[in-house]
Amino acid sequence: MHNSPMSDATLSKTTFHSTAALEQFAAALFTQVGMDKDKAQTLGRFLVLTDAMGRRTHGLAMAGLYLADIEKGGMTLRGEPEVIKDNGISVVWDGGYLPGLWLVNKAIEEAIVRAQKHGIAAYAIRKSHHIGCLAALVKQAADRGFIAQISNSDPAGARVAPYGGCEALFTPNPMAMGYPGAHNPVLIDICASITTTSMTRQTFAAGQQFEHPWLLDAQGTPTRDPAVLENTQARGSLQLLGGQEYGHKGFGLALGIEALSQGLSGHGRKDAPKRWGGNVFLQVIDPELFAGRDAFTEQMDYLSERCRTNKPIHADRPVRLPGDQAAVGVEKAQRQGLSYDSQTWQGLAEWADKLKVALPVSV
């Protein structure tokens, strides 16, 4: 995940000392439009956690997009997933476009129980709504000593062209893996494209260009201009991981993620869905039923320490593991709260006014 192209120094900030108040505020927005209370609370918790972890494109900034889609009937607000198949170790759900963060978190909770019995459990979910920050989700299992992997795609979306092509076909197709560590969980969160749809929209809205040519125009020429993804007449695409030289690597990753999330769930691009959503493949592993949890932590903590003590290219920038920065951010948010740029908070304030929801107290 790349940092925001907008410098913090150039933005006015609204600061909140209480992350709990932010969670309650987000939950109130969703309950006000008719969402089940438990689902709304789960969304509020995960969106604020995502901001604390530093993944700002997928935190509270997503609330307005979710609410707008709810107005159009795109997200289901109540109910449970439909169980298509349950074999004990493997499960297939039809999510019915229920809130994705709630749906996947529910699957993680169930998968942990099954993994404790079988060593491993897997869920294939079709027709989920957007599932937000994958790292925040796998963290739920890693914090409890389990390994979790998530692969995610949206069969209704097309933002990334296959390698050698110039017509968008895939979404960025993120995948994440989390596992426990001595200091904090390791949280790997990547996607099959160089940058993401959210980051491209944010860069476009800021009137900026990317530092490198991470996109392709409609003719397949590399470009730094995010506007090519907004051009409805001649729309471009996001470049695959590896770019022009090594994009076959990102292409392979995109295909594998679609096989897991769409092939195994039995729903995908062949069905030509029109709603914003996501397909998910979740796997949870209990190290205790393999070589043992102690053996796992000994091996992986040793490797982590070797990484962190590796001689850095720049002395003031030591090697850090994925998840280290998120852990620092969460700890800091608990002590100092969170700040939001004026554009993000204005959008949330407008929704609060529209839905008659009180804003949390800011500093």
Amino acid of residue 22: L
Alpha-carbon distance of 159 to 224, in angstroms, equals 15
Q: Give one word for 120, left, alpha or beta, with left for phi > 0 and alpha for psi -120 to 50.
A: beta
Question: Residue 228 in contact with residue 235, Cβ under 8 Å?
Answer: yes
Q: Would you kindly state where each structural domain of the chain is located, as residue ranges?
A: 8-193+240-310+314-355
Q: Is the pLDDT of residue 223 over 60?
A: yes
Alpha-carbon distance of 227 to 318, in angstroms, equals 35
Q: Is the pLDDT of residue 41 over 70?
A: yes
pLDDT, position 11: 52
Distances (CA, A) of 363 to 8, 17, 19, 357: 17, 7, 13, 19
What percent of the chain clears pLDDT 90, i.e. is strictly above it?
Answer: 93
pLDDT interval class at 339 (50, 70, 90):
very high
Instruction: Give Rg (Cα) of the chain.
Output: 20
pLDDT, position 9: 40
| Prediction pTM value | 0.93
Helix intervals (H) in the chain: 19-32, 37-52, 61-71, 100-118, 134-142, 197-205, 243-258, 293-308, 324-336, 342-355
Q: What is the CA 168 to chain-centroid distance, rounded?
A: 21
Alpha-carbon distance of 306 to 294, in angstroms, equals 18
To which residue do tokens 């996501």 refer? 278
Alpha-carbon distance of 297 to 291, in angstroms, equals 11
pLDDT interval class at 205 (50, 70, 90):
confident
pLDDT, position 198: 87
Range 93-108 average pLDDT:
98
Give domain 8-193+240-310+314-355's CATH architecture: 2-Layer Sandwich (3.30)
Residue 164 per-residue DSSP state = T
pLDDT interval class at 334 (50, 70, 90):
very high
pLDDT per residue as tens digits for the range 112-160: 999 999 999 999 999 999 999 999 999 999 999 999 999 999 999 999 9
pLDDT per residue as tens digits for the range 228-259: 998 878 999 999 999 999 999 999 999 999 99
Amino acid of residue 151: S
pLDDT, position 363: 83
Least confident of 9-23, 97-111, 204-218, 298-312: 9-23
Question: Residue 280 in contact with residue 148, Cβ under 8 Å?
Answer: no
Strands 186-191 and 338-341: unpaired
Neighbours of 242 (CB within 10 A): 18
